[in-house]
Amino acid sequence: MAEPRPGTARGLYTISVAARMAGVAPPSLRSYEERGLVAPARTEGGTRMYSNDDIARLRRVVELAAQGVNLAGIGRILELEEENTRLRDGPPGNG
């Protein structure tokens, strides 16, 4: 995955807040996590904490799902988008 911007990868939002921000129900977020589409941080007590990066990724998942892409396809698209970003940006230190 691309290098996160400072402060964007830290878990800030509980599942209910993240669900509202992404426009989906909390069970959908749990399903996305089970399928590896998002990996929120966890507190010591096990509470999911979603970062700004996670919210952006969830919004992309929602966008692709609205276009009729199934969850397996969404996972592959996200992988390819991340690979494309890595290739475009090149190795660290070349900027």
DSSP assignment string, 79-92: HHHHHHHHHHH-ST
Please state the pTM of the whole predicted model.
0.80
Q: Hey, what are 94's tokens? A: 């070349």
Q: Regarding the domain delimited by 15-89, which CATH topology (the fold level of the hierarchy) does it fall under?
A: Multidrug-efflux Transporter Regulator; Chain: A; Domain 2 (1.10.1660)
Contact 12, 51 (CB under 8 A): yes
- Any idea which residue has 């509470």 for tokens? 47
pLDDT higher than threshold 70 for residue 47: yes
What is the model's pLDDT at position 9?
Answer: 73
- List, for residues 5-41, the tens digit of each pLDDT value: 445 777 899 999 999 999 999 999 999 999 999 999 9
Task: Identify residue 81 by its one-letter amino acid code.
Answer: E
What is the model's pLDDT at position 90?
Answer: 81
Residues in the chain: 95
Contact 9, 53 (CB under 8 A): yes
Contact 16, 54 (CB under 8 A): no
What is the model's pLDDT at position 94?
Answer: 56
